[in-house]
Structure formats: C-alpha cells, structure tokens
Structure 1
C-alpha cells in the first residue's frame, strides 16, 4: 500500500459511500484508477466497507465480555463466539486463555450466565466478566484509525463530503449527486421494519453497493432506495464502518488499554485519546477500569512511544493495564480468516 491508497482509505473514512469520481479527485488520480485501487484492497481482504445498524435501534446495548478459558478449549470457544450475530468484535489476547468480545443484546438479557448459555459448550470456561459499554467516543472499529498514512487536505475532505447524500460506488450521475432533499419522504419513519431487511443485509455485505444495485436486490425503485437510505442515515439508525486489517498494512501490534480515569474527566480524556492517530476505538465502560481504548501500532517500540508520549501526556489518567491482541477473530461485521476480512456465512 502506498500514500495514494492511504488517501483513498482516509477519504472513505470521511464518506464511506463517496463515488469513485470523488475518491479519485481527492487522491489526485482518475476515477478508473481509484476504482481499481479500491477493488484491489477489497479483493485482498485488507478492507471492507459495511453498513451497520446502530444497536440501540433494535433495543440492544453493547457489552464488553472478557472470557477466560483453558488453553485446550480456546479454538472451539473462539469459533462459537465469532460466528454469533450478536457478537460484533472478538479477539484473542496474549497468553492464549482469554477472548475479548463485544456483545449486542438487550439490557436485561446479559450477564455471566446469559453469555455462558449462548456458548456452544461451557466446558473449559474458567471465568466471564461483562461490563456495559456506556459511551463510544468514536463509532466503529478501525473507522477512525489514521496511523496507516496518506493525506487528506481540508479541501479534499470538503470535496468528498459535498452534496452529502448517500451515493454508492456506481452513483456518479449528476442527478444522483444533486438530489439532496431535506428528508427521506413525508412522514417516513427511521424505525426498522421487515421491509428493510434486504436493504440492511445487502449493505452489511457491501456498504458501497450502488442505489441501482440495492434497488434490484430489494425490488424497489431507485428513488425509494435513496429516500430510505437518507432517512436511516440522517436519523443515525444506519452508519458505515471502514473495516481495516492493520497487520496487512505493516502494523503488527494491536492492544486494548484499560484506563482508570477520574469520573469528572472521563469525557475530556476520552475525546482527547480518541483523536490520536493510533487509536481505533475509545469508549467509557462500567467496571474498575472505566475507559477502554483500542490501539494500533507498528511494533513494540512504536507502542512504547505511544504509551509514553500519547497516553502519558493526557491529564486525568490515574492508572492502566494492557491486553495485547495476538489474533483477530472478528471485526464489526466481518470474520478474519487466514489474514483476510470475509463476509460471515
């Protein structure tokens, strides 16, 4: 990957459904070259753009679960958790006896017993700890991580987001870009219905499908697709995640920091840390450590530098512990199989 690919990824983080023409203009390349580079990254399993329904829309909360098990039971437990639809992220940490995952389920339906009941087998499970995710300072997994390089100027950012309607990879006609009515339609509700299922499933598979392709899949008109997407996106019910495998880009050390922060400072500390280039995700959680931070670095020296000059420079951090990721099992909507992001079966 070079700086041009990095700029394309940055532009997608700003507007995941930006047309290839806009991506090319932002990166200083042709529309065809932008499309070719994007497709190469996607085919290689390095990145995927996926549509995600915000859990609260379905009445779900997000919970951070830490499951300790016997080493000989790690593989079946990992497979069981990562293939569950209510599990958003999952990874194995150093030591080979602990899996950390994010579970999406209603407020009253989670806990140690509920999570254990969801597993295919409880044999070998030694301990389960579940904390509530209270507030995310940046939504998504690697959506906001920018440590991979590239450059997106303010003018390029404005270009990518102009006419902020929901385009897709194949929606480059002037009519599509100019259509930006204020709402989805008279009285249209952002509440998900059974009719939305084909649309949501298609976007989970590929968040950049064109309006025309989505219309074909759903059996709708193109206009109806545009209106429905606009309603869901502007209400916050639907968002897009740019999933990235940092290891494929030369960033081999990923870690979760469990920070203890004074309650009065947690908003300020969380927002400041979430803005760091090395941070992919930051959220306030319940428990002894009240701030969870996902960090991506090149190597041990780079991680040490970040702890010393990044976290160490933030006022209000009272203490921390570290979990080093040794294997990714699942990103937001994708399994990680043999070093590739793939759509779950």
Structure 2
C-alpha cells in the first residue's frame, strides 16, 4: 500500500466484515455499510492490489489430526532470508517471520509428525533449532486481532453473521475434513472467496453439493476463514514475538488475561522453557515498551520474558501466491496430511 494512503472508515469496515464472514456477498456487506455494492467491490479490489488483502480458508489443525509446532531457527545473516523463503514455500508451514535483527526465523509447522525438524539441521547456515509444540491456542486462528475488528457496531456485526450454516453444529465425522475434500480446501487456501461455480469445477461436484459441504465444514468449525492484510495500515508499525515462562499453576490464568489485551494478536501455550508465546502489535517502540513494563510487568506469574522484534512476515496464513519454484533440501513436498477419522 502506498505510504500516502490511509484506510478510511469504509475500508476498515470492509476488513472487519470479512473477519466476521470471509465469504459474505458484497451486496450484503454493502447493505450493512450503507454504501453501493460497486463501492464495496471496488474497495476490495484496491485493498487486494495495494494492501495485500486476501481471505483464506483454513482447516483447524486439531480437526484434521495435525499437530502445530512453532519452530525457531537461528541462522547466519547471509542464509536467513533464503531459509525463510524456503520454509514459506512449503505447504505445511504458515506464519513465517524474520525476527531478532534478521538472524532468527519463526514458523508454524502443521504436520502429523515433525519430519521438517530432521531436515533443517542439515541445511547450511543454521546455527540453532528449537521446536515448541502448541498445546492450546488462546488467541489467533479464527479470532481476529482487535485492531482490525473494532469498526462495526454490535447491530452491524449481528447482520453480518454467516447465514448459510446449519441451525446446529454438525456432529460426527460428517463435519470433519476428509481426503475427498482436498480439492475444495486447496482452492479455499488460495482464495477463500472463490465463487461456487469455480469450486464446483475444482472438485467435480455440483454447486449445490459444494455449498452444502462448505456449510458442514464451517458448522463443525473444521473450516474457518482468516483475513490477511498489512497490519501497519491499522497502526501496528512495531511487532514483536514474546516468549514467556509462566509458573504452571498460573499459566491458564495468565494466558486468558493476555488474550484480552488489545495489543496482542496471538497467544498460545507451548512446550519448552518458554511455555507461553504471544505476538504484540504496537504503534511504535515506545508503545511496546509501555506494554511490556506496565501491563506484562504487572503479572507476577511471568517469570521470564524474551522479546524478539519482527522485521518482516514472509508468509502469513495462506500459501504464497504465485507459487515459487521449488529447489533445495527444504523444499521437498511434505507428506500428505493424516486426516482424522
């Protein structure tokens, strides 16, 4: 996005609306925002072209039988960016970030087993590797960062709640992803707003069957839609990963408290010496310092805190577009997901 561009109220409302329902028709969003459908469509196209806006359809890893690992790699400066790009090109990674002066890479790996961890140590330039199993997600995934989701009022939010879902949550295996869903899910990972007709072509199903399957997956919470966009447009010019060690007896209490903080976009309990990790989004370094010293500093159960400034997000939730050519050891296609039964 050009530096001179500032998101106005309509832009912010559109992003908030997409967080509520990533597949909401433009006409429905327009009616809630009291603007024309053409205005919403034009703003959406502009934000896609200039701000990296993208809606992506994602499967809940727990519903798909996949583990989530946060992998931290330290690398020599000349290798760090190439390594981050190589990780980003893999289909089993998301949230690839360059941190700590550009010599640390942090990635989330979704896999039935951590095959990746046996490949990384043999990669030139890597000086250290640690892996942290994500035990519980307190904030993130289908829950939007509040900095992007505070434009619409309660009545508008109710009007934009998904309307095409079953009256009750789908139970049993019918609501879980299966190998037959992979063409549908692959298309939604690239673009969560793909029209039903295109999804029908991708799957070989009828549009009615696609719509019904989408509704089942969403109702079971196996499928959710996330929004990618440049967070600096919402005032988050300073970002950092926070690695905390919390006394086990107070871990859940502290994590739930952190999940209510407007400065945080991600909070998860993990294994390892740092058993709680968060992502902070702040306007500037002074605001981050104030948050660390006043809000986190007031929580006595946090025994240690490591702050790793994020320089760049190489990959967000969805796959890289367009797909980069694969090369090298780290770019071997991962094993197919082991879907839950």
Q: Same fold (TM over 0.5)?
A: yes
Aligned to 1:339: none
- Answer whether contact 2:64 2:222 (CA < 8 A) is retained: no
The Cα of 1:230 is off from its aligned counterpart by 1.3
The answer as to whether partners of 1:54 and 1:236 remain within 8 angstroms in 2 is yes
Partner of 1:101: 107
SS of 1:229's equivalent? helix
User: Is 1:3 paired with 2:9?
Assistant: yes
Report the Cα offset of residue 268 of structure 1.
2.6
Q: Give per-residue Cα distances to partners, 1:275-301, cap 9 Å, x unaligned.
A: 222211110011112111011112112
Contact 1:333 1:343 in 2 (8 A): no
Q: In the alignment, is residue 157 of structure 1 matched against residue 163 of structure 2?
A: no
1:28-69: per-residue Cα shift (whole Å, max 9, x none)? 322221222122111224221101122233422011111112
| CA distance 1:208–1:314, shift in 2 (3 Å) | farther
When structure 1 is superposed on structure 2, of 72-81 and 304-313 the one drifting more is 304-313
Asked if residue 302 in structure 1 is aligned to residue 287 in structure 2, the reply is yes
Q: Structure 1: how far apart are the matches of 2:46 and 2:268?
A: 32
Whole-angstrom CA distance in 2 between matches of 1:273 and 1:263 = 15
RMSD: 2.5
Aligned match of 1:171 = none
Helix, strand or coil: the match of 1:255? Answer: strand
Q: Alignment partner of 1:306: what SS?
A: helix
Aligned match of 1:264: 249
Match status 1:30 vs 2:33: no
Cα deviation, 1:151-205, whole Å, max 9, x if unaligned, reads 2111011111162x25xxxxxxxxxxxxx565779x8723433331221111111
Corresponding position of 1:20: 26
**What are the Cα deviations for residues 303-331 of structure 1, in whole angstroms up to 9, with x where unaligned?**
12322343345563333110101121111
Q: Which moved more, 1:257-266 or 1:122-131?
A: 257-266
Which residue of structure 1 lines up, in the alignment, with residue 75 of structure 2? Answer: 69
Using the TM superposition, give the Cα deviation of residue 267 of structure 1 relative to its aligned residue in structure 2, in angstroms: 2.2
Match of 2:240 in 1: 255
TM alignment of 1:166-185, pairs within 5 A: 180=166, 182=168
Verify: 1:44 aligned to 2:29, yes or no.
no
- TM-score, normalised with respect to structure 2: 0.84
Aligned partner of residue 95 in structure 1, secondary structure: helix
Contact 2:147/2:234 (<8 A) preserved: no
Q: What are structure 1's unaligned runs of at least 5 residues?
A: 167-179, 336-341
CA distance in 2, matches of 1:183, 1:95: 45
CA contact (8 A) 1:261 1:291 kept: yes
Partner of residue 133, structure 1: 134
Q: Secondary structure at the match of 1:196?
A: helix
Which residue does 1:229 correspond to in 2? 214
Deviation at 1:6, TM superposition (A): 1.2
Q: Is 2:211 aligned against 1:210? A: no
Q: Say which of 159, 180, 201 aligns to 1:195.
A: 180
TM-score (norm 1): 0.83
- Distance (whole Å) between structure 1 residues aligned to residue 233 and residue 180 of structure 2: 38
Aligned length: 318
CA distance in 2, matches of 1:157, 1:285: 32
Structure 2 gap segments, 5+ residues each = 1-6, 325-341
Which residue is 1:285 aligned to? 270
Whole-Å Cα distance in 1 between the matches of residues 203 and 193 of structure 2? 15
